[in-house]
Amino acid sequence: METQVIYNSDLHFEHERWRSELFFWKDEMKSFNHRLEELVSRWTDKDVLVQLEHFQNEFILHEGRINEFLEGIESHEHRIAGQSMAGDDSMDRAMVQRHLEFRDEMETQREMFQNLKKEFFKFLTKYL
């Protein structure tokens, strides 16, 4: 079995991609929250307000996940920096495994956020 070397620079590159995506999501969340505020001022119907609260809660949860991902990336980057300073340009197996798990978590979160956005846009189409 051939040993595959995964370089810190490759992991760092993927981290940078994820960071960009996460910061983009944060910007989208600001826009979505402004839309919610706009709708709250327009609607008094209890059914609509319940749906608004649902989206507000979902956005709060998603924003929390974004922050968790950013913290996880930062932690991993510190580990990479430490290894680089020690002269080791490749990541140990445990950290590679954690990176692969993190990648799967990002993909799941990406799908969840896309579904939430679709649901929110349908709601906006109906009530804005």
Residue 4: which pLDDT band, with cuts at 50, 70 and 90? low
7 strand-pairing partners: 90
Euclidean distance between CA atoms 12 and 5, whole angstroms: 14
- pLDDT digits over 31-74, tens only? 999 999 999 999 999 999 999 999 999 999 999 999 999 999 99
Q: Show me where the domains of the chain are located.
A: 8-27+47-127
The Cβ of residue 109 has, within 10 Å, a number of other Cβ atoms equal to: 18
Q: What is the largest CA-CA distance in the chain?
A: 65
**pLDDT beyond 90 at 128:** no
Euclidean distance between CA atoms 114 and 118, whole angstroms: 6
- pLDDT digits over 79-126, tens only? 888 877 777 666 667 878 888 999 999 999 999 999 999 999 999 999
CA atoms within 13 A on the CB side of 36: 20
**pLDDT beyond 90 at 16:** yes
Between the CA atoms of 54, 17, 19 and 22, what dihedral angle is there, to the nearest 10 degrees? -10
Share of the chain above pLDDT 70, in %: 91
Specify the amino acid at residue 49.
Answer: L
Q: Which of 2, 37, 12, 14 is nearest to 89 (CA)?
A: 12
